Structures are given as structure tokens and as C-alpha cells.
Structure 1
């Protein structure tokens, strides 16, 4: 069977350096300063990376999937068309953020990483993560990834750490370009003219995000106004709502993160009280192979802001979904354009 993956990723060099590092005799060739200001000694060659927190998995995958040695969450069967088989089958070792147990030290030891990379965010216990780095005997980098604007610098840092600077720079430039194009198209819309958006999370749509939540930043970046004017109290967000509260807010548009919600509003006539539902302004964020909106946050938001800006303001941001999605998947995921099913990704199949 012909592979559906193109190969923008660099070919791997022999694993001799891995063996040397694992026996403790490899030289430390460079010092990097991570995004928290920590000075970190990096091995001369890195072929095995431990992604210590969920957002690091897609970050490293985009640069070079062959260097991942573990996962912190399982892929879904439907992701297989867009994720390399060897990555789909990597061991799931646990996670420091979100739902699930912390990393399993025995599985980590067997994975034998040469470097560990973690998400720096106020809600995480950085000391606990650093203790894992010390136990593994690996250098550890922390990167900022809460906002899409963090991604170019994070890609460049990780690319430098794992010896893939050229590719990481290309990916960083693509994200900066996407943000600039969307901002130029929708950034000047006056506050009073922006589409008001409710972010419906979960199967019944009764969980949501405050406007300051990074989980909902796609709304603002795409030129929308999040109707939830509140302050996020916990990393997970997911503020509880009632349908009556949503009716009072009366959003122009609903952005959903769960396909079951689309079924729910079709079977519960009470949702027809919302103008957005009656007018067909309910949009489901794509999820294959990484969630475009978040959970975990990833570079897919650079595609999501284009998609959603086009949904909100097609006259301001005309967008060829077929061309742009295939191009993005080829660049970031290494998938041949002919293997990208755009209608299925957008839930139109």
C-alpha cells in the first residue's frame, strides 16, 4: 500500500549517538535558554524526545514525528489517516496536565529519552516536572504554549534543541503568516460590529469558556467577541451554564467542540429559541488529528483562526478551504494533499 505521507521531515541519522548518551559518555554540545530563562545543556544529537505534557506531542510531531518516544494521550482510530503508524502505537505514559494519571516512571525509563520538553503554565507543578527530568537523567526544556502567538518561538527553540532548525523556522513562519493575514482582514472591525460568539463545550453545550481563556482564543483571533465576559478560575475552564443563561446572551454564532452537540440541538427543540440555531450559525470545530480549537492546544489553531474567520466574515476573509487545509496538512503533518479528505475533516461527509 502506498504511503499517504509525504516526507517534509528530515531523514534520521544512525542511532549511535543515542547509544552513547544512554551509556552516559556523550558530550554535551550546546547550552540553550528555555522560555522560562533556565539554562539547559543539550546533547550533541537528539533522536529521542519525551513530550512531558500534552501540548508538546503535536509540537514535536510537527517538527519531526520520528523523535517522539511516548505519548501523553491516545489518538482516536479516525486519526490514523493523518498520523504516522509508528506514532499511533507509541506507549502512553501519562500526563502532568488535564485528565489522566501522571507519567509512569517505569514506562519512561524504558523509552530512554535524551531530552524532555514540558509546557510552562501557571497551573502546572514545575518542580514536580523537573524532578521527573532529574530522575530520567535528561535535560529538560520548558516552553510557553498557552497562546497561538507563543508557537513560533516555541517551535524555533525546540527545533534548535533537537537539531531541526530549518524545518522549525519554516513552521514558525507559516504560523506568523496565518496570524498576520487574519488580523489584517478582521482586526479593524469595531467592537460593536463583531459577531458575538458562544463557545459550546461538551455534548450538551452547557459548558463554556470565559473570554480570557486560552481555550477560546480562536474566537478573538478570528475577529469574534466571546459573549462570556468573565474571568477563568481554573486551567480546565469549562464554566457551567444553563440554556436560559445562553438565551439571555443571545449569541450571533455558536462554536462547538463536540459533534454530539449538533445532534443534541436537533433533538431538543428548546435550543431553537436561540437565533444562532435558527439561522444555522452553529459551527463544529474540526478535530482530526489534533483538535483545531484546543485540548490540547496545538499549532492547529493557526488553521482554525482562518477557518473561523471565514465562517464569521466570508466577505472580509475569503478562503479556499480545500486548498488551504490540504496545504496546511502537507506542511505540518506531512500528509500528501490527495490523502486529505477535507469534507470529512469539516464534518461535511
Structure 2
């Protein structure tokens, strides 16, 4: 009797296990059905809406979008980067916070979507390659090499949060937890700033132009994260009406027509000196009123697509409206931020260098 009961229970347990293998959430099923000699896979949807099959476990990342290297660092996954960009390897403070980046090869050798050394990239044996965009030619090469492409580009804060969550979820549990923590922090700062900036009357809002370079003259228009943080801080992007996208070439006459209250330079102190001393710039309201500022630059430029966007909105709000945002202690805020998200303690020299970037 006991023997028959034991056999019955054994069969029942076996059936339960087998049935459990047939019932699962889609993402888990994808990992199971994707099992092969190369390991389990999962299918994700990237920020461009592409369905991409990637390994279920990601240990080696070719991060060929400059800004996303900082996101990897913030998520605690810097040691998973096996290929990077020449731009990142040239950033002094990134190298100071993460010295191992010096030893990682640069597979992205220029600024264009097609400036990739396939030989270097393939030699690093990445599980995935992360890009902000990809040309058809490069996509074909990467597909032929068997390297999945994940696009992480975003242009607003809602999509930033989606991109960071996606990054965390494909990298691992600890990275996902860090992404959640970061988004909680970002949401709290967005809420605090909007509570004040949303109450600024339309006729009191300052018009802003964000300049990326002077020669040629390039500015940032609508459909960009730059436009988003200007709006969050209570400003109005003077270029948004006529200019769409990042780093768009304009004539000086176009800039004169915009005649912004504030100019923010995403470059260097040298650029500010050039602006302030050039006679033709004296016709601009921002120059006349000494409202020209150089954007902070830390592990990555605060203004462009990295984790430091959470600091950018605070700096921009306090820079545009110091009286309304007296409660923001930007130095104290980013001291805590670098400790929490980059495991790095800032020195006084670091702080000065971030707030006053030089060539």
C-alpha cells in the first residue's frame, strides 16, 4: 500500500514538473525556447522598436554609444564593457572614475553611425553591441558577424527611464535594481523642479539656446533631451520652433533672430570667452546681460543623454532661476550623486573642474 502510494506521488510530482515547464511568462519562455548550444536567449524590444534576440545572460558588452558607457558605469556594469568609443577614452574624468576604460579597445572610432572598426569589435567577442543608431550597412555587417544590435536612443525623460530600465533588465538583477533606484531619484528631482517651474508665468519664462559648437555654429532644437531639460527647468528652447534634432547647423543670422535671454554652451570655457569678446555677439541679449553659461561636464557632459541628466535639470533650474531654486545646493547634490552612483568621492578640484570645464 505504501509502495503504491509512493509510486503515485512520484508520478504526480513528475507530471507537475513537466506541466510547469509549459506554463511561463513570455519573457521566460523566450529564454527557454531560445536554448541552443550557445546558451539560452531572450527576445527584447529595443528603443527603436526592433525585436532583438540576445543571450539571456549578458557578460560582454560592446558599448558604442558614448553616453551609454556612463549608464553602464552608473548601473555597476562597467566591468562588462569590452569595447568602447574613442570619444569616451578621451574624457579625463571618465578615466579618473573608471581607470579600466584605458585598457578597453575603442571600436567606435568617429562620431558617425558607421565609424566602427569591425575587426576590433569582433575581436572583443561581445554578447551584444549597444548603439544610438545604426546604418543599414553596419547592421548587415553586425548581423553577419552574429552580434545582436540593441538601440538605446531616447529624446525625452519618459524614454530615458525606459532605456535605463531596459539596460538594467538585460544586464542582470543588480543592474536592474540600480536602474530602479536611479529612476526613483530622477523622478523625485523632476517632481521637485516641476512643482516650481510649472508656476512660472509664460511671459516670465526665459528663452534659451543651447550651443554645441561655434565653428560651424550648431545648436540643439526640438525632439532632443536638451529641449526636454530646458522645459523641465522652466525655460523655453528658442530654437525649437525652427530647428529639429541635435547639433543642427544654423547661420548667425538665424541665431540673431532667436535672440535668446540665455545661452548655454555645451563646449568649453574657451568657447565662452570667444562669445563674450567677439563684437558680433554683442548684439545678442544674452551676451549683453552676461547670461552665457558653460554646461558642466563630469563623467560625461551633463547635458547629453547620460545618467547625469538628473543633475543637469537641477543645475539648469538654478542657473535660469536662482531666486526660485534657492533650495538646490548643486555642489552638495552632485557630491552625493557621485558617491551613490559612481562609487567615487569628489575632491574640491573635481568639483571645480566639473562646474568649470576647460578645453
| Aligned counterpart, 2:123 | 110
Structure 2: any 5+ residue segments left out of the alignment? 1-35
Change (3 A) 1:191 1:41: same
Pairs within 5 Å for 1:36-75 = 36-63=48-75, 64-74=77-87, 75=89
Task: Report the Cα offset of residue 154 of structure 1.
Answer: 1.2
1:78 aligns with 2:92: yes
Which of the residues 180, 194, 199 maps onto 1:183? 194
Pairs within 5 Å for 1:238-277 = 238-242=248-252, 245-259=254-268, 260-277=270-287
1:313 aligns with 2:321: yes
Q: Root-mean-square deviation (CA), in Å? A: 2.9
TM-score (norm 1): 0.79
| Aligned counterpart, 1:327 | 336
Given that 2:155 and 2:224 are in contact with CA atoms closer than 8 Å, whether structure 1 keeps it comes out as no
Task: Give the 3-state SS of the residue equivalent to 2:66 in structure 1.
Answer: coil
Whole-angstrom CA distance in 2 between matches of 1:37 and 1:245:
35
| Aligned counterpart, 2:25 | none
Given that 2:207 and 2:235 are in contact with CA atoms closer than 8 Å, whether structure 1 keeps it comes out as yes
Given that 2:311 and 2:334 are in contact with CA atoms closer than 8 Å, whether structure 1 keeps it comes out as yes
Structure 1: any 5+ residue segments left out of the alignment? 1-23
How many residue pairs were aligned?
317
Q: Considering only CA atoms, is the larger Rg found in Structure 1 or Structure 2?
A: 2
Which of the residues 293, 302, 305 maps onto 2:310? 302
Q: Structure 1, residues 180-204: CA drift from partner, whole Å, max 9, x if none?
A: 2221220232322101112233246
Change (3 A) 1:317 1:279: same
TM-score (norm 2): 0.77
**Structure with bigger RCO (C-alpha 8 Å, 6+ apart):** 1
Q: Structure 1, residues 192-249: CA drift from partner, whole Å, max 9, x if none?
A: 210111223324694323344444433222110122253445x55323232x554444
1:160 aligns with 2:157: no
Whole-angstrom CA distance in 1 between matches of 2:155 and 2:306:
9
Whole-angstrom CA distance in 2 between matches of 1:84 and 1:57:
11
Change (3 A) 1:248 1:46: closer
Task: Report the Cα offset of residue 315 of structure 1.
Answer: 2.3
Whole-angstrom CA distance in 2 between matches of 1:133 and 1:290:
27
Whole-angstrom CA distance in 1 between matches of 2:71 and 2:217:
30
Q: Structure 1, residues 102-129: CA drift from partner, whole Å, max 9, x if none?
A: 2111111111111223335xxx43x445
Given that 1:212 and 1:230 are in contact with CA atoms closer than 8 Å, whether structure 2 keeps it comes out as no
| Aligned counterpart, 1:87 | 101
Whole-angstrom CA distance in 1 between matches of 2:284 and 2:64:
42
Given that 1:213 and 1:232 are in contact with CA atoms closer than 8 Å, whether structure 2 keeps it comes out as no
Change (3 A) 1:73 1:220: farther
Pairs within 5 Å for 1:199-278 = 199-203=210-214, 206-232=217-243, 235-242=245-252, 245-259=254-268, 260-278=270-288
1:283 aligns with 2:293: yes
Whole-angstrom CA distance in 1 between matches of 2:314 and 2:256:
28
Whole-angstrom CA distance in 2 between matches of 1:288 and 1:320:
17
